[in-house]
Structure 1
C-alpha cells in the first residue's frame, strides 16, 4: 500500500503523525510525506521520505500576509485570532495544491492521510478519487477552521468543481474519553504517541532534586514569529516561577535561548530539548496550551497551567481545566498570576491525581500499530464502503 501523508510545514502539525507513519512502514507499506520544500529536511530527519509540494514557504508568508503579500492587521480578540489563523491554512493549501496534485498523479497513492489543517491533500485525493483519512493531532477537531479556510480556497474549489472541502472517509481520534466533551469519538480511537524530533536526553534530567521542577514553554513558533515579545515574556515568566521552592527549565529553540545574556536565578536550563522526555522529570508544565505540549504532559500525567494565545490553544486550555488536570488563564494574565496558579496546582494533589488518571486513559487506547489494518481496509475498499 502506498500512503501519502500531507502536512503543514510546522513541527506541531507533523510530529504527532510520525508514529503512525512509522507504524505503516513497519507493516511493510510505503509512506511519502508531501510538504513545502523548506520542511523536507525535518521530514527526512524523522526517517521518512519527502516530496516537495511547493518551494520554500515561510510561516509569516501565509500566516501574517494575504495572497498578494500584503501585511494583515493584527486580530483584535481570541475569536478573530482563530478565524485569521483558519484563513491562513487555506492560503497555505492554495500555495501547495498544484504540487500536491502533481505528487498524487505521479506517485499514485492508495490512501491519503492528512493532519486536520492541511487541506491540499484532501482536495487532491478527492480530485483523483482516492480515499483519505484524517489523523487527529490534538484535542480539537478544528471544525471552526473549515469555514474560513473554505472561503479562502473558493477559487481552487471552483476550479476543481468542488463546492466544499471533502469530508474524510474516517478520522483517527486521539482524545482520551474524559476529554471528548459530551460527544462520542469522531472515529476510530488511537493512542497519542509523542514525537519531538531528535531526542538527546538533557543532562539535567538525571540530576537529583529536592524541590518541584516546572517546565516552561510557549512552543516553537510564538517566540520566533509571534507579533508580541514572547521572548521577553518567557524570561519574565521564568523569573516569576523560579524561587527557593521551585526550579524551572525553559523549552525553547536554541536560537532564542542563545540570545539571552543570562538566565534568571533558579532557572536550571533553557534551549531545545525533547518535551516528551523532559516531562518525565518535571512536576508541572506551564505552557501556551499548544496541542503537542499539552498532549505530551497528558501522556506523562503531568498537571498543567495553560496560558493560551491563539487558535486551538483556548479550547485545549479549557478542556484541561474542565478535566481537573490543570488551570486555564487569560492570554494576558500577569506573571504573578501565572506564578500563583503554578503554586496552586503544585500544592493540591488532586491536579496531579487527575493528570495521572488521564494518562491511564491514553495508555489504554489502541496504538498506531493497531490501527494500520483499518487503514489497509480503507485503501482496499470500494468507494463509499464502510470500513
Structure 2
C-alpha cells in the first residue's frame, strides 16, 4: 500500500513519525513524507522520500503573525489585563466559560491556519495524482486530514503529547449547542469545513480527531478519547547523530542530563527556563557529586558567566545514547526526553510549562512516582535551589527509580512499529473490501 505522512515543518514533530515510517517501508510499503520546504533536509536525512509542499516562509513567522493578530483582537475585546486564555489543561467546567472556550478555539484555529494553509492545495494535488491508500498526519498537521478527506482515503492522527485539546473541544462543542444560533461559531470546524467544501467534500469531526489515533504516550498516562486508539511503543529517533567518545563509557560519577529541546534556540521568549535561570541552576548544582551534562546552543554557552567543574556543556547529544547511563534527567517537558527517560527507567525532573499538555502530564508523572514537576508559575519557583532540592530527591530516594522502571516495562509492552503496521494494513484492507 501507499502511505503518506503529513507533518507541518517542525523537526520534533517529524521525528516521532520516523520509526513507524521506517517500519512501513521495511514491510514493503511505499512511503512518502509531505511537509513545507524548510523541513526537506530533515526528512531526507531520515532516509525517507520527501514531498515539499507550500511556501518557503518559516512556519514560526506565520504562527507568530496569526497569533499576534488574534491576540490583538482579544485585547480590543477584553483589555490588556485579562485572563481569558487559560491553561489548555484546565478541565473545571465552572472555570471554563463559553467566552474562554470560544477564544481558545479561535487561537487554535489561528495556529492551525498558520501551520497548514500553505501546504493544502499542493498536498491535495499530489494526493489526487499519487493516490495514497492511507494518510497519517501529525496531530497539529490538519492539512493531512483535509487532503485525505478531499480524495476519500482513510486517515489517522499521530500523537505524542496528551490529548488535552480533544477534551477542551468536547466541552466547547457541548457548550456551543447551548448558545443562541447566531452565536454558535466554531473557528476550527469552520476553517476545516471551508477547505473541505473547496474540494467537494464535507466537514466532519474526523477532520479534527482523525478516524483513529496512534499514540506513543505510555498507556497509564493517556487521556480517554472518543477516537479509536492504536498504542505504539516509543522508539528513539533524534535525527542524524554521532555518539561522542565521552558517552561510550560508564561515567565515573552519577550522570545527570539537563536538556531543554529547541525552545531556547528557536524562540527564547517561550523557553521553559531563561539563561539567567540556567546559570542559577548550574551554580546550585556545582557542589553535587555528579557529572552534569547540559545541552545548550553554543551561542548561549558563551553568555554564561560560569560553568562549574562538574558540568559538561554540549550542543547536542542523541538522547538514546546517553539517557541509559543517567541517574536522572532534567528537561522542559518535551515528549522525546519524557519518553526516553521512561523507556530506560530513569527518574526525571520536568521544569516549567513550555509544553501545552504539561499541566496534565506533570501531575500524572508525580502520581506515578517516576519523577517530579516544578510548575514555575512564579519566577522564584524555577530558582537553582528549588531545582537542586528536587534533583537530590530523585538521586537519593530509591522509590523514584523503582517507579520509573515500572513505567518503562509498561511502555516496552506497547505494540512495536512493526506490529502497528499490521493494524494499519487491516484498516486499509477493510476500506478496500
Give RMSD over aligned pairs. 3.1
Q: Considering only CA atoms, is the larger Rg found in Structure 1 or Structure 2?
A: 2
1:7 aligns with 2:16: no
Q: Aligned equivalents of 2:258 and 2:58: distance in 1?
A: 26
Change over 3 Å in CA distance of 1:213–1:77 after alignment to 2? farther
Change over 3 Å in CA distance of 1:92–1:262 after alignment to 2? same
Aligned counterpart, 2:193: 157
Matches within 5 A, 1:1-387: 1-66=1-66, 80=86, 82=88, 83=104, 84=107, 87-140=110-163, 142-144=165-167, 151-152=187-188, 154-161=190-197, 162-165=202-205, 166=207, 167-180=209-222, 187-227=229-269, 230-254=274-298, 256-257=300-301, 263-307=307-351, 308-331=353-376, 332=378, 333-335=381-383, 336-382=385-431
Q: Aligned equivalents of 2:204 and 2:3: distance in 1?
A: 24
What SS does the corresponding residue of 1:285 show, helix, strand or coil? strand
Change over 3 Å in CA distance of 1:146–1:232 after alignment to 2? farther
Q: Aligned equivalents of 2:83 and 2:265: distance in 1?
A: 19
Deviation string, structure 1 residues 236-256 (Cα, Å, up to 9, x no partner): 323323324222111234554
8 Å CA contact retained: 1:34, 1:53? yes
Deviation at 1:21, TM superposition (A): 0.3
When structure 1 is superposed on structure 2, of 169-178 and 270-279 the one drifting more is: 169-178
When normalised by structure 1's length, the TM-score is: 0.88
Q: Aligned equivalents of 2:305 and 2:217: distance in 1?
A: 40
Deviation string, structure 1 residues 186-244 (Cα, Å, up to 9, x no partner): 51222111211112113222344343221112211234313157344333323323324
Unmatched tracts of structure 2, length 5 or more: 89-103, 173-185
Deviation at 1:12, TM superposition (A): 2.0
Deviation at 1:15, TM superposition (A): 0.6
Q: Aligned equivalents of 2:230 and 2:270: distance in 1?
A: 39
Q: Aligned equivalents of 1:365 and 1:30: distance in 2?
A: 25
Deviation at 1:127, TM superposition (A): 1.5
When structure 1 is superposed on structure 2, of 113-122 and 185-194 the one drifting more is: 185-194
Q: Aligned equivalents of 1:17 and 1:215: distance in 2?
A: 24
8 Å CA contact retained: 1:85, 1:311? no
What SS does the corresponding residue of 1:195 show, helix, strand or coil? coil
Q: Which has the higher helix share?
A: 2
Change over 3 Å in CA distance of 1:71–1:241 after alignment to 2? farther
Deviation at 1:97, TM superposition (A): 1.7
Change over 3 Å in CA distance of 1:355–1:183 after alignment to 2? farther
Unmatched tracts of structure 1, length 5 or more: none
Deviation at 1:168, TM superposition (A): 2.2
8 Å CA contact retained: 1:90, 1:153? no
